[in-house]
Every structure is written in structure tokens, then in C-alpha cells.
Amino acid sequence: MKVDFLILGAQKGGSTWLYNTIQKHPAVVTPRHEIHFFSDDENYNKGIDWYHSQFAAGNGPLLYGEKTPEYLTVIPTSNKKTSVDTCNRIYSYNKNMKLLVVLREPIARLRSAINHMYRTRRIAPWVSAYDLILGKHRDAAEGFSLLQNGLYFENLTEYFRLFPPEQIKIMFFETDVLERPSASLADVCSFLKIPFDLSFFPSPTGKQNEYQMSLPAITLNYFMPGLRPLNNRLNHIFPAYKVQIDSKTRSFLEEFYASSNKNLKTLCGSLPDSWTYC
């Protein structure tokens, strides 16, 4: 076997929706979890046989694919789950690899990623967006590639350096996932050269892996992660917590991403209307 396609990311950009949906196709074989093979040096050193062992065996003409959002980030970062060698490793493994990317407006993606950092106890619930981006907790942001994950053009450029454009499909969360999910799945099937039938994908609409923890649950989970049943009960009582981005931090982020987004717009031809500051 050889893996035929990868969903590169972006992290918190809709790649989970695409992965959970496309794996329902009868011609697609996927692992049960993210493998982090090409991006994680330790996993990559386990070798190709280990990588292939993560996939179940199948019969007939099948496509093998997997999703690891860290594959998209190939510019330098201190995040140990990313590597500048990722795209070169993928090309060396399979120069005909099909690559799927789902992008989300960078500041919205970053906000969702901060919420994910709360939920996974990477940061305390009192750490603000300002603390992570401009303040005393910037090392935590760097270790999670918080800013670099949103530099889509810089990261994609490294893939376009190796792979022809017809092997890379770029999608947008705001339009392709939220507004036209069924049509987008048809496009993906065409890209992968597998038959499309909407019956393969029951209920393709709606967000997946959406952050829903309340602030009391985040706080309790940070100090006592073993009390999950109580956490779940708190989430039914209190509203989901969404980190706020203050005006100073937002201005910095808009300036930080402006050039990258402008180049991305040139690359893709257009961006969703909600990317208003681009």
C-alpha cells in the first residue's frame, strides 16, 4: 500500500469535518487517529512500515488517507509536532500525493486554537489572548505554533515548491464547509477521483469538533482533570466560553497576517468575504 492523500490542516480550520466525512466513503481507508508521521521527528524515525501499520488492511481498489493538521506548518517553529522537513518527507514518500487544505480566517482560527489550549490544559483559564500574543506567555503560543499556523501563504508556498497545483486542493471553512458542504464533498471526490454519492455522507452539514466548554468547566478541568462527569454537567448549566481578543491584540494580528493574506488572495484568486481586513 501507499497513502494516496493527506488532509494537511489548518488546525481548528475545519479539517476535522472534512476528515470525519470523507472517511465514510466506501473507497476510503483512514486510521483511527492523527498519526503525526511526517511532522514528528520521533514518529518519522519509526519508519514506513510503522506508518503503514496504522492503517487497516482493505480489499479492492481503495484510497488510503490521513489527517494531521500540523503537516501544514512547515516554517520554523518550536512546536515539536511540526517540522520544516515535513513537505520534503511527504514528497519523498509519494510525489503523486493529493493534498487537501481547509483554511479559516486566521484570527478566528487563532481564537479557536486558544480555546483548544484551555480545554487541553496547555494554559491556565486566566491567561488572556493578550498574554499569549503580546505578553508574558508568548512562549506558550510559540510552542503551540499559535501565530505561525495562520501564515497560510508562507506554509503553502513550500508545498507548491514541490507539488504541482493540480495535486493541491484549497478549501475555505467559511464558504466550502459552512455554506456548501455537499457541493464541497462532490468537489473533493472529483479531486480524489472517487465516485460521489450523497448517500455516502449522511448529515454532511454542521460543525464538528466545536469548542463547547464553559468557564467553570475549564477552571475545574485545569485543577482537577479527573472530574470529567462534573465538567460535563457544568457545560449544560453555563454557556460555552469564547476567549475575547482585545483591540490592541486584534490590531497587531490584523497587521501580522495582512501581507500573508494578500499573497494568499493572489494565489487563490479570492478569499471569503468575512476576511474583511485582507
Contact 173, 13 (CB under 8 A): yes
How many alpha carbons lie under 13 Å from residue 169 in its C-beta half-sphere?
A: 21
68, 5, 82, 97: which is closest to 39 by C-alpha? 82
**Pick from 127-131, 194-198, 258-262, 273-277: least confident:** 273-277
Domain locations along the chain: 5-109+149-209
Residue 47 has a pLDDT of 97
Question: Of the given ranges (75-89, 108-122, 151-165, 202-216), which has the lowest mean pLDDT?
Answer: 202-216
243 touches 74 (CB < 8 A):
no
Check whether 210 has a pLDDT greater than 70.
no
Three-state SS sequence of 137-170: CHHHHHHCCCCHHHCHHHHHHHHHCCCCHHHEEE
Counting runs of H as helices and runs of E as strands, what totals does the chain give? 12, 5
**Residue 48: pLDDT band with limits 50, 70, 90:** very high
Residue-level pLDDT at 246:
95
Residue-wise pLDDT tens digits, 87-141: 999 999 999 999 999 999 999 999 999 999 998 999 999 999 999 999 999 999 9
Angle between helices 152-160 and 247-268 (to 10 degrees): 30
pLDDT at 84: 94
How is domain 5-109+149-209 classified at the CATH fold level? Rossmann fold (3.40.50)
Give the C-alpha separation, 233 to 185, whole Å. Answer: 35
